[in-house]
Structure 1
């Protein structure tokens, strides 16, 4: 059995690729820019651009399972071609934004919901891996922390349940290698609800550097976000942070249920990535 892994240049996709190989599974790595993704064990990635359906059939030839990033505009076409190629099971990297209040207005939720719907209606068996906030999102603060400016956000006391990207990948690997989670929606969070301020404190302790936290105006934070995100996405993220300002959430149990152990705490992630903040 060979598993096609899309998005291998990403943190989660790259970890899925490693996890499958460590488990002895056959892996076909795929990337829209395979020359930048790097070979593993002498096997270069194949070109698979989820925005270019002409690349689907060659990448899917001989594949039985797929780890797929969400691309709603072509998800239906991909699902149909996967089914025609003999693919039995797709694990889709989706988002917990689908389950949030107000998801109907969320561009993030809409993107992932549309991809899920396409697979439900026209594809092979599926597992939807709805991940919450990734711990690696904290890397967006790294440059300013290294420069001594710390964490500057509109809602420093907003809460999330950050999940280690390796745990998300391990859940995906478990789902791909077995059949127990076919037809399941797995909702994956970290084991604790933490404010942005507390995450900054844990990064400071792990990296051994000061990490001051400054509340900035929403307009300033929005301008920083829209430098690399569409305006509707930036507005949704800020609205979500406002709703969770001072409001801890409840970690979800699916990661522990699938992995048979507790999910990694943010302190572990911070120790492993401490060098990025120095």
Structure 2
């Protein structure tokens, strides 16, 4: 769709956020029930971005014609592993969060009721490709909004109640 819009005569602005910090909410059910978080690649990196940063970047491109008309890659301010994100959540909610390393196949089976198999494979491939490898971080949120992107620690504080029993 984006390629078609770019090829058209319509002035197009695309926001391409990386990993939503809110993806961590997928862990909330396990955390509230006291179960460990099962991960095949706990050292896989992502660039969690706070939903408020995405909204503020969108506001900037809607209200400032000088920045409209091109694509923007949005990231959070840091590359974090899943294990680091869980450590931050652990400190935020004040209790340990156990991680259970599982096989790729086991994690795919866990996701089966929520995610189609082809998408699960793509997601698992992505996690594997970033296992132990930091992802590239942009300064785009700051460029568009005039302030640094919020950290995952900030996101965790904002959503701590979602993780408490």
Q: TM-score, with normalisation over the residues of structure 1? A: 0.57
> Greater share of strand residues, 1 or 2?
1
Whether the aligned pair in 2 keeps the contact of 1:148 and 1:210 (CA below 8 Å) is no
| Superposed displacement of residue 151, structure 1 | 1.5
* Residue 36 (structure 2) aligns with: 150
2:114 paired residue among 224, 228, 249: 228
2:71 paired residue among 185, 192, 197: 185
Q: TM-score, with normalisation over the residues of structure 2? A: 0.95
* Residue 62 (structure 1) aligns with: none
Inter-partner Cα distance in structure 1 for 2:120 and 2:136: 24
Residue 237 (str. 1) matches residue 123 (str. 2): yes
Unaligned runs of 5+ in 2: none
From the CA coordinates, give the structure whose radius of gyration is larger. 1
* Residue 18 (structure 2) aligns with: 132
Q: CA RMSD in A?
A: 1.2
Whether the aligned pair in 2 keeps the contact of 1:150 and 1:210 (CA below 8 Å) is no
Inter-partner Cα distance in structure 2 for 1:260 and 1:124: 27
Inter-partner Cα distance in structure 1 for 2:145 and 2:131: 30
| Superposed displacement of residue 184, structure 1 | 1.2
Alignment of 1:101-140 (within 5 A): 115-122=1-8, 124-140=10-26
1:257 paired residue among 143, 147, 152: 143
Q: Secondary structure at the match of 1:130?
A: strand
Alignment of 1:89-104 (within 5 A): none
Whether the aligned pair in 2 keeps the contact of 1:141 and 1:150 (CA below 8 Å) is no
Can you list the C-alpha shifts for 1:180-221, whole angstroms capped at 9, x where unaligned? Answer: 222211000000010000100100111112211111111110
- Divergent runs of 4+, >2 A: 120-124
2:59 paired residue among 173, 178, 186: 173
| Superposed displacement of residue 123, structure 1 | 6.0
Q: Secondary structure at the match of 1:137?
A: helix
Inter-partner Cα distance in structure 2 for 1:236 and 1:143: 23
